[in-house]
Amino acid sequence: MLEFLREKKVNVEYTYYSNNINIENGHYLDIRNKDDVLKLIRKIKPTVVFHTSALMMDECELDHDLADSINVQGVSNIISACKETTSKIVYVSTSVVFNGDKSEYFETDNVTPTTYYGITKGKAENLIKKSGLNYLILRTDALYDWTESWHKENSVTRALNTIKAGKSLREVTDWYNTPTYVSDFVSATLRLIEKNKEGIYHLSGSEYINRYDWSLLVAKIFGLEKNIEPINSTELNLQVKRVNINLNNKKLFEELGIRMKNVKDGLQSMLDNKIIIPTKINSQCRFCNFTLKEPCIDLGVTPLSNSYLKFNQVKKPEKKYPLQVFVCEKCFLVQLKEYVSNEEIFHDYSYLSSYSKSWLDHAKNYVNMVTKRFNLNKKSLVIEIASNDGYLLQYFLQKKIPVIGIEPSSNIVKISRRKGISTIADFFGEKLAKSMTSKNTFADLIIANNVFAHDPDIHDFVKGIKLILKPTGIATIEVPSLLKLIEKNEFDTIYHEHFSYFSLDILKKIFSYHNLSIFDIDELPTHGGSLRIYVKHKNNKQFVINPKINYLIKKENKGGLHKLKTFYSFNRKIKNIKTELNEFLKKTKNSKKTIVCYGAPAKGNTLLNYCNITSNDIPYTVDKNPIKQNLFLPGSHIPIKHPNEIIKTKPDYLLILPWNLSKEIMEEMSFIRKWNGKFVILIPNLKIL
């Protein structure tokens, strides 16, 4: 529900008691403590208080006093606080305020509860009606949708998990509900608030169905085996006998034209909007195998940053995955869980390195430097892992130095081969390395630029390097600097394709574990700040260890990279950027000015999706890469056009998404100054230039 509200750009603060769900703007609160309730609501000054907290049915029967303290006194405390701030109260109630004697129930019917849970909810409704506040009482029934791991299962997710586990599902034929799809419930609630409606409304599904038939539909819609056994509710040993209640939602349609979905349509929508959370996610650190705990940074649930859409895909559901950052408390490797494989991400890739002049200059300068420093010649062999379109290896070829590229994206391999670069179309790892060594292929120089983070199996990657590296050979590996990421607020470089985020200290540990040594390092300005490490076999005595390595590790320690609080603090800084961007867009819109984007990089998609920006806010972006033109950004659905579109539309502001190339882009697009256009850069903070 919180994610849905954030997508609708509702400014949400939430409270928790037993589960801290690690979404921004959370506050611990025990609603039984009146002083704490008053203090928090005075501080936040909410326009609307959306009250969902309650002790549930069976627990209420076991402890009446606890039920009263939470479900009645807790509501009374919230009412008192809302009176001080004149906040509207939206109270989520239940169908069981009725006894089930009637065939259907309307908002005007008197409450007739038979369970203690229903009694406490009825008492709370009465307190709210007499409070004098602007209020909504929303009665609902059997809410269902995808849930997070910390949340209790609902009827649908329980059925899915049971059937997928190959177990028999037992469901009752004599217990009826009006199942309610959460997305419908939240949408209807927002409409009621927007229209300033007041009173009681039934926000329930449009179908009265028993649990057994409901489960059969779940199996059918999700394409699962119907291993479901019909039983009678007396076989369940329930603490409280359930009553059959049919909530009539006609009032909602008559006043607002809202139709709540039936079960079949609700389940289909749930399937279409599936958040991909595989059942077997590794929760161990990918380096030291220590158990990962809660995420330090949460950027929401987003599609893959490079999963650009064709026109006919925009209206279809997108696969979305949690974008959460974990920090290993033992070795301090910063990492994402592997919700999606690198094979799925990089099979057909849209990033081409050759479309950035500054990156080509970086590659050419590197080739000149490394050729001279390590005396490379026509008898040497250079192997680049993730060689892309040959942007770098082409400069070795110009020097007549033999090269081999390794690139998994089949569409990009074709481009590289057209340049005369021998390219292996495969993922790099120990298996490929063994195949290469069996053909006596060993490297004098291995290059791995901005690819180490892309491999979820870092041990396999390093084993491969060790195998194909000659005893006297060296490897250079470039990675974005974790310290710079933190210092410069570069949160948008976090996306699913980047499984790991490296400090120099953790890099040293990883390579040492495999009997390789880092003997030198360069600090680079690329990608907002990167590290280039020089690696050799430990028993290679040709190269002396540069003392700069230990100096930089000390610098990282001083920057707090071995403290969890550093990352929690960083999470708070990220929120400021989100606030800045949304306020700027609002101000731009109110002043009748226009803003578009330059670029369609993966980092831009992290930014836009985290900030809930869509094509309603920014009409288009432009990119020089022809592979991306005429596609749409994932999540935001902003169309990607040719840079000439800027000349046609003359926007007031140009938001540069690949901020690491801002100097190059501002020179290229300097003509926007002719109509007083300005450039906008968000990292490390909002700048208008």
**pLDDT tens digits, one per residue of 138-162:** 999 999 988 765 567 888 988 888 8
> How many other β-carbons are positioned within 10 Å of the β-carbon of residue 540?
17
Q: Is a pLDDT exceeding 90 seen at residue 354?
A: no
CATH 3.40.50.720 domain locations along the chain: 2-272, 569-688
Question: Tell me, what's the pLDDT at 605?
Answer: 96
Segment 544-567 shows an average pLDDT of 95
CA gap 147, 603 in Å, rounded? 27
Residue with tokens 């008192």: 80
User: DSSP 3-state assignment of 224?
Assistant: coil
Segment 9-20 shows an average pLDDT of 75
The Cβ-side half-sphere exposure at 426, using a 13 Å CA radius, reads 12
Q: Is a pLDDT exceeding 90 seen at residue 532?
A: yes
CATH 3.40.50.150 domain locations along the chain: 353-562
* Bridge partners, residue 136, by sequence: 90, 199
Q: Is a pLDDT exceeding 60 seen at residue 470?
A: yes
Whether the CB-CB separation of 163 and 229 falls below 8 Å is answered with no
Q: Is a pLDDT exceeding 70 seen at residue 275?
A: no
Q: Is a pLDDT exceeding 70 seen at residue 168?
A: yes
CA gap 633, 280 in Å, rounded? 29
Q: Where are the alpha helices (DSSP H) in 155-281?
A: 155-164, 182-194, 211-221, 250-256, 263-272
Residue 542's contacts (CB-CB under 8 Å, 6 or more residues apart) are: 472, 536
1 or 172: whose pLDDT is higher? 172
238 or 206: whose pLDDT is higher? 206
CA gap 495, 652 in Å, rounded? 30
CA gap 630, 622 in Å, rounded? 9
Percentage of the residues of the chain whose pLDDT score is greater than 70: 94
Write out pLDDT tens, residues 386-396: 999 999 999 99
Question: Tell me, what's the pLDDT at 88?
Answer: 96
Q: Is a pLDDT exceeding 70 seen at residue 80?
A: yes
- For β-strands 516-524 and 530-537, DSSP reports them as antiparallel
Residue 647's contacts (CB-CB under 8 Å, 6 or more residues apart) are: 671
Q: What is the separation of C-alpha 413 from the centre of its chain, rounded to a whole number of angstroms?
A: 30
Question: Tell me, what's the pLDDT at 340?
Answer: 76
Question: Tell me, what's the pLDDT at 350?
Answer: 58
Q: CA–CA distance from 353 to each of 87, 190, 349, 619 (Å)? A: 53, 45, 11, 26
Q: CA–CA distance from 544 to each of 192, 275, 375, 506, 538 (Å)? A: 71, 50, 17, 20, 11
Q: What are phi and psi of 78, to 5 degrees?
A: -70, -40
Write out pLDDT tens, residues 668-681: 999 999 999 999 99
Question: Tell me, what's the pLDDT at 5?
Answer: 67
Residue-averaged pLDDT of the chain:
91
Confidence of residue 17 (pLDDT cuts 50, 70, 90): confident
Whether the CB-CB separation of 578 and 300 falls below 8 Å is answered with no
| Burial class, 289, CB count within 10 angstroms (exposed 0-12 / middle 13-18 / buried 19+) | exposed
Residue with tokens 């994932």: 634
Burial state string for 218-234 with b = 16 or more CB within 10 A and e = fewer than 16:
bbebbebeeebeeeebe
Segment 27-48 shows an average pLDDT of 94
Q: Is a pLDDT exceeding 90 seen at residue 607?
A: yes
Residue 501's contacts (CB-CB under 8 Å, 6 or more residues apart) are: 325, 334, 335, 453, 480, 482, 485, 494
Tokens of 393: 């290896």
- For β-strands 199-202 and 135-140, DSSP reports them as parallel
CA gap 288, 244 in Å, rounded? 53
Confidence of residue 533 (pLDDT cuts 50, 70, 90): very high
Q: Where are the alpha helices (DSSP H) in 134-210?
A: 155-164, 182-194
Give the CA diameter of the chain. 91
> How many other β-carbons are positioned within 10 Å of the β-carbon of residue 254?
9
Q: Is a pLDDT exceeding 50 seen at residue 279?
A: no
* Bridge partners, residue 653, by sequence: 595, 678
Q: Which DSSP string do the residues of 500-524 spell out, in sequence order?
A: EE--HHHHHHHHHHTTEEEEEEEEE
Q: Is a pLDDT exceeding 80 seen at residue 9?
A: no
Burial state string for 551-576 with b = 16 or more CB within 10 A and e = fewer than 16:
ebbeebeebebeeeeebeebbeebee
CATH, domain range 353-562: 3.40.50.150
Q: Is a pLDDT exceeding 70 seen at residue 495?
A: yes
Q: Long-range contacts of range 669-673, CB-CB < 8 Å, 24 or more positions apart? A: 669/598, 669/643, 671/647, 672/646
Q: Is a pLDDT exceeding 60 seen at residue 360?
A: yes
Asked if the bond preceding 684 is cis, omega within 30° of 0, the reply is yes
| Burial class, 442, CB count within 10 angstroms (exposed 0-12 / middle 13-18 / buried 19+) | middle
Question: Tell me, what's the pLDDT at 348?
Answer: 59
Question: Tell me, what's the pLDDT at 149?
Answer: 52
User: What is the homologous superfamily of the domain 569-688 according to CATH?
Assistant: NAD(P)-binding Rossmann-like Domain (3.40.50.720)
| Burial class, 418, CB count within 10 angstroms (exposed 0-12 / middle 13-18 / buried 19+) | exposed
Euclidean distance between the first and the last CA atom of the chain, given in angstroms as a whole number: 38
CA gap 222, 225 in Å, rounded? 9
In this structure, of 97-106, 273-282, 362-371, the range with the lowest mean pLDDT score is 273-282
Segment 255-270 shows an average pLDDT of 92
> CA torsion sign, 386 to 299 to 306 to 597?
negative
Q: Is a pLDDT exceeding 60 seen at residue 186?
A: yes
Topology of domain 2-272 in CATH is Rossmann fold (3.40.50)
CA gap 562, 88 in Å, rounded? 44
CA gap 686, 584 in Å, rounded? 9
